[in-house]
Amino acid sequence: MGGAMTWLSERNLVAAISNAGGYGVIACGAMSPDLLDAEVAATKKLTDKPFGVNLITIHPELDALIDTCIKHQVSHVVLAGGLPPAAAIRRIKDAGAKVICFAPALVLAKRLLRSGADALVIEGAEAGGHIGPVATSVLAQEILPEVKDIPVFVAGGIGRGEAIVSYLEMGAAGCQLGTRFVCASESTAHPHFKQAFIRANARDALPTVQLDPNFPVIPVRALVNEGTKRFMETQRQVIERFRRNELTQQEAQLEIEKFWAGALKRAAIDGDVENGSLMAGQSVGMVKGEQTVAEILTELLGQALGVLAAREFPGTS
C-alpha cells in the first residue's frame, strides 16, 4: 500500500501504484471537498484499479470530504491524524466503503476495532512526516499477535522486500511504503526534492523537537534544513498565541498543520529544498535513484521472493 504523502500522493503516483499491482492512496491533506472531488475523478481516468483516499480527522470539512468519497464510491477510506470520530467511521461503512485507521498503540488498536475499523495501519517512528514515539519493530511485536480479526498493515522505515516478508510472517496483511515512492518517475516531486532524497542517509531524517510538553505537537521526521529551524520558530509563535487565548487548542494545531502543508509544497513541488520541508522516513538511505513505480515494486517483490527461495532451496540467492 502506498503511504499517503501530502502533495505527492496525487493522481499520477496513486494511479501508477495501483496499475503496477500495489494499492495507491490519495493524500487529501488540506484539500477542499471540491479539490478532492477533482482529484478522485482525475485518478479514475488514469486507472481502473482500486485506490483509496486518506483523510485527516482534524480537517474542518471532514464530513464534506467523506461525502465526496461516498459520491465517487471510493472503496477504502483511510482516517489519519488523530483518533477518528465513531460517527465518521459509521458513515463511511454505511455507504459500503471500508475504513482503515492508524493505531499507534495496542490499546488504541483494540478501541478502533470496537469502533468498526475494517483494517489498521501501525506506523513506527522511522516513518516520514508525522510520527509516533514507538519503533515499527516494537509496534509490530505488540499489536500483530493481539489483533487477528482484521487486516493490519505495517509502516515506517520499510525499504526492502526482505523486511516485508518478515512482517508478513509476523501476521501482517501487508506493508505501507511512502519514502521509496518519492523518487518514482511518476512522482510529481520537484527534481531538487528527489535529489535531496537520493543524496540523503538514514541519519539525516530526524524528528522535530516539541518545545512545550503542555502543548502537544506531533513530531515530524524530515531531512534537516533551514525549514526545520523555521518550524521551531513557528511553533513558538503559535504556542504564545495559544497562551494569550488568541487560538483554541484545535486552531493552534491547525495553524501548525498549515505550516507543514505550505513548507512541504515549497520543497516537494516548488523545489526550495533549503527553506521547505523535506519530510522523509529513515528508509530514505535506501533510495538510490529514480525508478518507475513498476521497477520499484518488481525490485521489492524480487527481494521478498529471494528470501523464500533461499529457504526452500538453500544455497540459492
- Give the percent of the chain with pLDDT over 90: 82
Range 223-228 contact pairs with CB under 8 angstroms and sequence separation of 24 or more: 223/196, 223/197, 223/278, 223/280, 223/284, 225/273, 225/274, 225/275, 225/276, 225/278, 226/274, 226/275, 227/263, 227/266, 227/267, 227/274, 227/275, 227/276, 227/277, 227/278, 228/277
182 and 196 inside one domain: no
In a domain, 6, yes or no: no
Is the domain of 63 the same as that of 136? yes
* HSE toward the beta carbon, residue 33, CA cutoff 13 A: 13
Q: Is residue 1 part of a domain?
A: no
* DSSP string for residues in 51-109: -EEEEETT-TTHHHHHHHHHHTT-SEEEEESSPPPHHHHHHHHHTT-EEEEE-SSHHHH
Residues 150, 204 within the same domain? no
Q: Are residue 133 and residue 201 in the same domain, yes or no?
A: no
pLDDT tens digit string along 268-305?
A: 999 999 999 999 999 999 999 999 999 999 999 999 99
Residue 317 belongs to some domain of the structure: no
Same domain, 202 and 221: yes
Are residue 176 and residue 199 in the same domain, yes or no? Answer: no
Residues 6+ away with beta carbon under 8 Å from 24: 2, 9, 13, 14, 15, 16, 17, 18, 43, 47, 51, 52
List of residues 6+ apart from 35 with CB closer than 8 A = none
Q: Is the residue at 18 inside a domain?
A: yes
The enclosing H or E element of 223 equals strand 220-223
Instruction: Give domain status of residue 316, yes or no.
Output: no
Do 145 and 168 fall into the same domain?
A: yes
Backbone angles phi, psi at 177, to 5 degrees: -125, 140
CATH number of the domain where residue 181 is located: 3.20.20.70
Same domain, 227 and 79: no
Kindly state the cell numbers that stand for 217.
505537537
Helices (H), the chain: 11-19, 33-46, 62-71, 86-94, 106-115, 136-143, 161-170, 191-199, 226-243, 249-268, 293-312
- The structural domain count of the chain equals 2
Contact 264, 277 (CB under 8 A): yes
Q: Are residues 96 and 230 in the same domain?
A: no
Q: What are phi and psi of 283, to 5 degrees?
A: -75, 0
Full domain range(s) for residue 227: 191-279
Q: Are residues 172 and 125 in the same domain?
A: yes
DSSP 283: G
183 in a structural domain: yes
- DSSP bridge partners of 103: none
Distance between CA atoms of 121 and 172, rounded to whole angstroms? 10
Quick check: is 4 in a domain? no
Same domain, 15 and 107: yes
Query: In the chain, which residues have pLDDT < 50?
Result: none
Is 3 inside any structural domain? no
Asked if 21 and 144 sit in the same domain, the reply is: yes
